[in-house]
Amino acid sequence: MMGDNTLTDAVHWRFREDSNPYVRGLKVALVQMAVGSDKAKNVASAVKQIHRAKEAGAQLVALPECFNSPYGTKFFDEYAEEVPSGATSRALSKAAAETGVCVVGGSVPERFGNKLYNTCTVWDGSGKLLAQHRKVHLFDIRIPNKMTFRESEVLSPGDQITTFDLAGIKIGVCICYDLRFYEMLHLMAQEGCALIICPAAFNMTTGPRHWELLARSRANDLQLWMALVSPARDTTAAYVAWGHSMLVDPWGSVVGQLKESEGTLIHEVDVKVVEEVRNNIPVRTQRRTDLYETVKKFKK
């Protein structure tokens, strides 16, 4: 659904018509920011948007994949920083502490020893590092005459599945291409996640085909909220992002979606809907694991 949830360079929000003050909901802000080649400017813009989202009532603010650097293998080494000692981590921690909101810091190229990762950091409202997710599935694809991309030429994959707790709500984190790997997200659902946040940067080839389809499929199959956060589209960039940051509810309905330009989508995530869908359509207890079991246990 587009239209009343779409806004350019401003913060927009919408409450559920049936919301009441006792609903255990979480107001999330998905910041579709413009990312350029000036790292300090990118970080300053993210910090500004975190403050604006807080003023608009957000309790959790999520940034896009690669928000401090242009997205591309030739940029990662130059823009990489250590976590949590690097300047970007410090800025996010400070912004979280100043605003008291949880910040899901999209992703940044992370340097760790002689390796580079595509890493999402999560900061609680006191500025403490709550979670760190290193992209598990690197974006290596080849679509003849369309696009070739090989993150694995410069990045190493993470080896952890990442979830965190916020005020009693369990939230999973995956980064972009991770979204295509159902088993990993299935494990997050089994662990009790009500929401999965996916900082991402789909492109002009796969974006129109798969972005909404994947978000809605995961939400429907796993019966949870899905939040996808993209950078704004920059047609002059080496890699052109699809945009269309969106929030999908556990029924698989798109409750809010941006277009391709800068903006922030603010919406309440009502965790009661997860319970409602899971009770109404109880597939979680109806699986025939005597016939199939494709998902192994959560590795602690």
Ligand X SMILES: NC(=O)CCC(=O)C(=O)O
Active site residues: 65, 135, 176
Q: Using CB under 6 A, list all residues that contact ligand X.
A: 65, 139, 176-177, 180, 201-203, 206, 210
Evaluate whether 249 touches 224 at the Cβ level (below 8 Å): no
Q: How far is the CB of 28 from ligand X (least distance, A)?
A: 21
Q: How far is the CB of 139 from ligand X (least distance, A)?
A: 3
Instruction: List the one residue out of 249, 265, 147 whose CA is nearest residue 208.
Output: 147
139 or 164: whose CB is closer to ligand X?
A: 139
64 or 256: whose CB is closer to ligand X?
A: 64
Helix (H) or strand (E) holding 266: strand 263-270
115 or 150: whose CB is closer to ligand X?
A: 150
Q: Are strands 60-62 and 11-14 parallel, antiparallel or unpaired?
A: unpaired
Q: How far is the CB of 136 from ligand X (least distance, A)?
A: 11
What does the alpha-carbon distance between residue 84 and residue 26 come to, in Å, rounded to a whole number? 26
Q: How far is the CB of 138 from ligand X (least distance, A)?
A: 8
Distances (CA, A) of 288 to 10, 166, 284, 292, 294: 48, 32, 10, 6, 11
Locate 245 and state its tokens: 């940051």
Distance of alpha carbon 71 from the chain centroid: 15
Q: Is 94 exposed, middle or buried (0-12, 13-18, 19+ CB in 10 A)?
A: middle
